[in-house]
Amino acid sequence: MQTLKTIRITRQMMALTREQGKTIGFVPTMGALHEGHLSLIRAARKDCDTVVVSIFVNPTQFSANEDFSKYPRDLEKDRLLLEREGVDYLFCPEAAEVYPMTDMVKLCAPQALSSVMCGKFRLGHFDGVLQVCAKLFNIITPNKVYFGQKDYQQAVIVKRLISDLDFGIEMKICPTVREVDGLAMSSRNVYLKGEDRVKALFLSKVLFKIKDAFKKGERDVEKIKKQGRNEESEENEENEEGGEGVEVQYFDIRSADDLSEMSFIDKKAVCALAVTVGDVRLIDNVILDPNELS
Amino acid sequence: MQTLKTIRITRQMMALTREQGKTIGFVPTMGALHEGHLSLIRAARKDCDTVVVSIFVNPTQFSANEDFSKYPRDLEKDRLLLEREGVDYLFCPEAAEVYPMTDMVKLCAPQALSSVMCGKFRLGHFDGVLQVCAKLFNIITPNKVYFGQKDYQQAVIVKRLISDLDFGIEMKICPTVREVDGLAMSSRNVYLKGEDRVKALFLSKVLFKIKDAFKKGERDVEKIKKQGRNEESEENEENEEGGEGVEVQYFDIRSADDLSEMSFIDKKAVCALAVTVGDVRLIDNVILDPNELS
């Protein structure tokens, strides 16, 4: 695996790759790699001749009160994992290489997609995601890019970046990878200490109940949400919104395509949940697809 | 010349062109072609294996009170001109092909570049320019793009689009082409009827005087601007800002690189002027470069 730090050299290597007629699969990450990332890399490895992974903790997608500075970073460990997966190129630039100035061209996510769910609580977050994705896509010029279903809203918005700005890129959304007890893998899980790790199971428990109710035929959004909430509050009488020490930020069932509201699930939907456990913010989701053979 | 109307087919033709190892030169236009456009096309023809011209009157760069609907359009005449210049591909999509939805990913030009000069009078204009350029660049995937110096601020901002979002594209800015009497060529010149066509010479007259004063060694911005203004108001006593029936929107000398203000011309500068003649808005500029051998 070749490690690339500069845009200039990366561009040269990608041009060479394309000249050789090789397809490029790209997995953008912020490092602190876990099995979720590795599943994306394996999908890329299967599909494409050349696999490029970026590790870049993108400052423009964090707001001032968020965890940019303490976001987990372990480049040496990440590098070993990538070597083991047969990744061809690691692009891990410094922030100053990616953002040489402050007053740069920005991107704005479509209002309807970015003003709901996480967008309500993370102002400007998706604009920052689009900015770094546009840059990375132009540097890497991939044929295919791989995103995780866990960050579902991000995947939908990046997909819109690709179609709205006519990037000739195919996007693959890969299933969420979970710990054995159900917790969705996330780099931020390392923040969960002691009891908080147990409390964090709130997300997957609620979502699995929702998925069960859906599988049993429930299609009414309010009723299905109530089932997720009710069963949870039986366990935690003192707080019907979350478990004890679990604060729900949002709990939404929306169209999987455009994140619009729905009252009846007659097309593919996403049930997405965001909570804080202590001061750790966690998200998770399940897809509810009436056309899916189960 | 092949005329392309859809993004899908254009993408295929461009992929084929690149696979053949050919370089692509791209000239984006809004049609109503004149010698200014043709000079860009000739530059592209000279530099590149394949020349692509787009004709698209981009709705997102016009605000509600502007001339989008009456902007001159003559596709048949334009097509003949392009044939004669040996252009390989004309991309002329319908608006619905480029903007299938209203709530799409947008771009925001850097504040310092878009809040001055034309940006002060055309809110959102450069954001619309960047949006369509990003799309066109992704569809055409050119090696080089050609812009006219006449729209100097546009050229600077698109150059920043290319560097800020890491498009691997080289930009060439070609000199303004003028009518024999000095008027900068513009598709909007067809709006100038009768006396207004004469009054429009105000721009080039002022700018040529500025250029003369600069060539004679004047480097003080206020003094040099005064020379342009004074000599003009001798001719038109009644209005020291413009000629009769000529209203000056802005008259600026700024850094040619980043459009920042300057009081002394110790590096390459642009002197830019925007006026309205009747209800026709016209712009023009000259470069003042202390390092230029004259």
Could you tell me what percent of chain A has a pLDDT over 90? Answer: 92
Q: Is there a contact between A108 and B105 if contact means CB atoms under 8 Å apart?
A: yes
Query: Are the C-beta atoms of residues A192 and A280 closer than 8 Å to each other?
Result: yes
Chain A interface, mutation test: which of B7, B11, B116, B166, most A Cβ atoms within 10 Å? B166
Cβ-based contacts of A161 with chain B (< 8 Å) = 105
Contact predicate B206/B179, CB 8 Å: no
Tell me if A239 sits within 8 A of A230, measured CB to CB: no
Q: Which residues of A touch B101 (CB under 8 A)?
A: 110, 164
Interchain pair B168, A134: CB under 8 A: no
DSSP class of A46: H
**How many residues appear in chain A?**
294
Helix, strand, or coil (residue B237):
coil
CB contact under 8 A, A106 and B107: yes
What is residue A238's predicted lDDT score, i.e. its pLDDT? 46
In this complex, is the C-beta atom of B139 within 8 Å of any C-beta atom belonging to chain A? yes
Residues of B in Cβ contact (< 8 Å) with A133: none
pLDDT digits (tens, 9 = 90+) for A33-63: 999 999 999 999 999 999 999 999 999 999 9
> Complex ipTM above 0.85?
yes
Query: What average pLDDT does range A162-171 have in this prediction?
Result: 98
Q: Closest Cα partner for B74 from B118, B26, B31?
A: B31
Residue A166 is nearest to which of B7, B15, B103, comparing CB atoms?
B7
- Chain Cα centroid distance, residue A57: 14
**In chain A, what is the straight-line distance between the N-terminal and C-terminal CA atoms, in Å?**
40
Taken in order A148, A150, A155, A156, the sign of the CA dihedral is: positive
Contact B160 A108 (CB under 8 A): no
The pLDDT tens digits of the residues spanning A265-281 come to 999 999 999 999 999 99
- Return the number of other C-beta atoms located less than 10 Å from residue A267's C-beta: 13
Question: Which of B112, B130, B135 lies nearest to residue A103, judging by beta carbons?
Answer: B112
For residue A294, name the pLDDT band (cuts at 50, 70, 90): low
Contact A108 B110 (CB under 8 A): no
Interface mutation vs chain B, best among A104, A165, A169, most B CBs within 10 Å: A165
pLDDT at B145 over 80: yes
Q: Considering Cα of A53, then A57, then A60, then A61, what sign does the dihedral take? A: positive
Q: Residues with Cβ < 8 Å from B227, sequence gap 6 or more?
A: B209, B210, B213, B218
Q: pLDDT grade, residue B293 (50/70/90)?
A: low
**pLDDT digits 0-9 by tens, A9-21:** 999 999 999 999 9
Q: Closest residue of A to B108, CA-based?
A: A106
B141 touches chain A (CB under 8 A): yes
A194 vs B: CB within 8 A: no
Confidence of residue B231 (pLDDT cuts 50, 70, 90): low
Single pTM value for the model: 0.95
Chain A residues in contact with B6 by the CB 8 A cut-off are none
- Give the residue numbers of A marked as catalytic: 37
Determine, for residues A166 and B112 on separate chains, whether the beta-carbon distance falls below 8 Å.
no
Beta bridge partners of B146: B172
Which pLDDT value is given to residue B294?
A: 56
pLDDT attached to residue A233: 56
Q: Which of B37, B135, B144, B254 is catalytic?
A: B37
Cβ–Cβ below 8 Å for B110 and A130:
no
Which residues have CB under 8 Å from A173's CB, separation 6+? Answer: A147, A148, A149, A152, A155, A159
Q: How confident is the model at residue B228, as a pLDDT?
A: 85
Residues 1-60 of A with CB under 8 A from B: 7, 11, 15
Q: What is the mean pLDDT of residues A77-103?
A: 97
> Mean pLDDT, chain B, as a whole number?
94
Handedness of CA A40, A41, A46, A49 (dihedral sign): positive
Number of cross-chain residue pairs from A and B with Cβ atoms under 8 Å apart:
77
Asked whether residue A97 carries a pLDDT value surpassing 70, the answer given is: yes
Domains of chain A: residue spans and CATH:
2-174 (3.40.50.620), 187-288 (3.30.1300.10)
> Collapsing DSSP states into helix, strand and coil, what is residue B10?
helix
> CB under 8 Å to B92, separation ≥6 — which residues?
B3, B4, B5, B31, B54, B55, B56, B75
The mean predicted confidence, pLDDT, of chain A is 94
Q: pLDDT band for A243, please (50, 70, 90 cuts).
A: low
Residue in chain B lying closest to A7 (CA): B166
Q: How far apart are CA B22 and CA B14, in angstroms?
A: 10
Give tens-digit pLDDT for A212-233: 999 999 999 999 999 887 655 5
pLDDT digits (tens, 9 = 90+) for B60-89: 999 989 999 999 999 999 999 999 999 999
Contacts B134 to A, Cβ<8 Å? 134, 165
Q: Residues B83-106: what's their mean pLDDT? A: 97
Positive or negative torsion for Cα A20, A25, A31, A37: negative
The strand pairing partners of A54, in sequence order, are: A28, A91
